[in-house]
Chains A and B, each alone.
Chain A
């Protein structure tokens, strides 16, 4: 029976050696774009985008590279936002320490949730993470330090390392960009490490990995905690950008949103979730002023993605003729 619900891999997209050059060029271009972007776009929008992009990439670490669908990642994102907001506002910690506390807190939450969730696989894993994250939502609703429905308001951005004033929007932007790049570097290093390779082997064939002697549940838990910590990094940063932390970030809708970002961009691609996040955030911004609810569009996009392009934007690009010409390879 267990083979029926075992976690099969999402569409895989790998990069061949020849693509490295193309990749380097794209990354260089992307970096330049990010550096000059505040000249052309509203910085708050960009910062929001970067936070969500990092969040989606952290989520993808779990779904794309380990094959685990978590429906509770809002807990780490929103939880870290609360932690960071609290320690910065009430304890008066500096912003960089605040974000680290947020990420660490998210890692601890990830350890607890992962401990329970990895006992089941596939669909059950998704339901358990969803239920536990709903439990955390109720905790945040009732706990003292989160201030219930109001959330933690007017969090000071403070001074980075004591002398860089982050209330200055430009400074804040480059700080967020730095956090984003550090997070992405960690993810890149992680998936290319021996640990990451073992995770991929678990994704491809869990039974085989077990038979090779790997303690699969320990690796899964490691990946879960890592993904939670990075999601926390994004959440903590977001709390400083918007200077508040509210219940919205811990609700199940947020967990759904990050799944959509990853799915839309391309599950299992390093940069896909960034584009997915960009699209979703841009769509939300665009519809924020209209009365038309975003949920309808989100839901329809979800269904269309699942039915028609499961590889996501970047995955489809890699698999397209142009993508293959540039040296990307789509393996099935």
Chain B
């Protein structure tokens, strides 16, 4: 058997794949956080809850309406995005004039409420969501066995990340968004409806989280706690990357996911904290984060 650094190649590649998958979720989630933060200056604590909502909406759609995975992949983000937009329009928007910490606290309360409600209704234990038949099974790559669904997750999340990046960097709407990030008052003076832009952005961020949630549903169990487990790690990712750039958030997400996967191979005990350790080191060496502009 081929060995690499004294570890069987198969185990190495297996963990690398798991790292890449976790990294995909970190990237998608930190991307959403960065998009929301860029314009609204709010750290969306409810991001984890929206990710969980995405998975739950997909599962409930299947259970009650027989809507399959492919439609859920489109519909669940729309539902959660709409929910996010409504929350932003009627509640969160009242807090913009205040210290940004209030936005964090509000979304924290929102996250607790959503999570508590789902725990009350569906219990804390996870429920399975089966892999769609088109993506079931796996393929033997010669050096390792690749479950097709996992490969799909990596590819589709990469596409979603790049798509969002293109949307923000290359389209007219994105140009408005970036301009409003720099100077909302001036943009408003040019006749752009900034409040609507803010609502759209929050909806987009929430939708991205839900999209990640639907992708995650067949891999992890659909449980009310799945959001809060991941969101704190994503916060660390965001601190490492700095929220200055969209691409930075994406890259950092993948890098840290892979770092976590590799730690599982070499020193499993530390795998749950390695991202936090990296965060601490980055804070020492580059307090603004790897891609950050503002301290």
B105 touching A299, Cβ below 8 Å:
no
Looking across the interface, which residue of chain A has its beta carbon closest to that of B114? A299
A126 with B232: in contact, given A2-B295, A300-B113 (CB under 8 Å)? no
A243 within 8 A of B: no
- B110 lies within 8 A of chain A by Cβ: yes
| Distance between B44 CB and nearest chain A CB, rounded to angstroms | 11
Which single member of A126, A301, A302, A310 contacts B98 (CB below 8 Å)? A310
Contact A130 B280, beta carbon cutoff 8 Å: no
| B-contacting 9-mer, from A21-29, A82-90, A131-139, A318-326 | A131-139
* A256 & B108 in contact (Cβ 8 Å cutoff): yes
Looking at the complex, which of A36-44, A165-173, A230-238, A289-297 is the stretch in contact with chain B?
Answer: A289-297
Is B251 among interface residues, defined by CB-CB distance under 8 A?
no
**Chain A residues with CB below 8 A from B99, complex form:** 7-10
Would you give the shortest CB distance from A34 to chain B, in whole angstroms?
A: 30
| Cβ < 8 Å to A, chain B residues 221-249 | 228, 232-233, 235-236, 238-239
Across-interface contacts of B284 in A (CB, < 8 A): 116, 119
- Are B112 and A123 within 8 A (Cβ)? no
Task: Please tell me if the beta carbons of B232 and A310 are within 8 angstroms of each other in the complex.
Answer: no
A127 and B236 contact, CB distance less than 8 A = yes
Q: Given A127-B238, A127-B239 in contact, is the A299-B116 Cβ separation under 8 Å?
A: yes
| Cα(A119)–Cα(B242), bound, Å | 13
> Does chain B have a CB within 8 A of A175?
no
Q: Which chain A residue lies CB-closest to B237?
A: A131
A242 at the interface (CB under 8 A from B): no
Q: Which residue of B lies closest to A296 (CB)?
A: B116
Residues of A within 8 A of B (CB-CB), count: 48
Q: Chain B: which residue is nearest A291 at the CB level?
A: B120
Contacts known (A306-B95, A306-B105); A293 close to B116, Cβ less than 8 A: yes
Q: Interface on chain A toward B: helix, strand, loop, or mixed SS?
A: helix
Q: Say if the beta carbon of A185 comes within 8 Å of chain B.
A: no
Residue from A119, A123, A135, A299 in contact with B277 in the complex, judged by beta carbons closer than 8 Å: A135
Measured between beta carbons, the chain B residues less than 8 angstroms from A69 are: 101, 104
Query: What are the residues of chain B within 8 A of A135 when measuring CB–CB?
Result: 273, 276-277
User: Are B235 and A299 in touch, CB under 8 angstroms?
Assistant: no
Q: Give the residue of B101, B238, B239 whose beta carbon is less than 8 angstroms from that of A122.
A: B101
Q: For this complex, into which size category does the number of interface residues on chain B fall?
A: 35 or more
Say which residue of A4, A8, A303 sits within 8 Å of B110 (CB atoms).
Answer: A303
Q: Does A124 contact B (CB under 8 A)?
A: yes
Of B98, B232, B293, which is in contact with the most chain A CB atoms at under 10 Å from its CB? B232
Q: Name the A residues within 8 Å of B63 (CB-CB).
A: none
Nearest B-chain residue to A294, judged by Cβ: B116
Chain A residues lying within 8 Å of B153, measured Cβ to Cβ, are none
Judge whether A1 and B293 touch: CB under 8 Å.
yes
A301 CA to B232 CA, complexed, in Å: 22
Nearest B residue to A141 by beta-carbon distance?
A: B272
The closest CB in chain A to the CB of B229 belongs to A134
Q: How far apart sit A123 and B294, CA to CA, in the bound complex (Å)? A: 12
B4 in the interface (beta carbon within 8 A) = no
In the complex, which residue of chain A has the Cβ closest to the Cβ of B284?
A116
A25-56 CB contact bits vs B (8 Å, 1 = yes)?
Answer: 00000000000000000000000000000000
Q: Which of B94, B101, B287 contacts A126 (CB 8 A)?
A: B101
Known interface pairs A5-B100, A127-B235, A302-B106; A132-B276 also in contact (CB < 8 Å)? yes
CB distance from B145 to the nearest CB of A (A): 30
Query: Interface 1/0s, chain A 265-301, versus B by CB < 8 A?
Result: 0000000000000000000000000011111111111
Q: Do B283 and A120 touch (CB < 8 A)?
A: yes
| Cβ contact within 8 Å between B272 and A138 | yes
Which of chain A's residues has its CB closest to B115's CB? A295
Say whether B100 contacts A122, CB under 8 Å: yes
Q: Could you tell me the distance in whole angstroms from the C-beta of A123 to the nearest C-beta in chain B?
A: 5
Contact of A123 among B101, B113, B119, B236 (CB under 8 A): B101
Pairwise interchain contact A127-B43, C-beta atoms closer than 8 A: yes
Chain B contacts with A in 244-295, Cβ cutoff 8 A: 269, 272-273, 276-277, 279-280, 283-284, 287, 293-295
Apart from the given pairs A69-B101, A120-B295, A307-B91, 8 other A-B contacts in the complex at a CB distance below 8 Å:
A5-B41, A120-B239, A130-B232, A252-B228, A295-B112, A296-B120, A302-B109, A306-B95
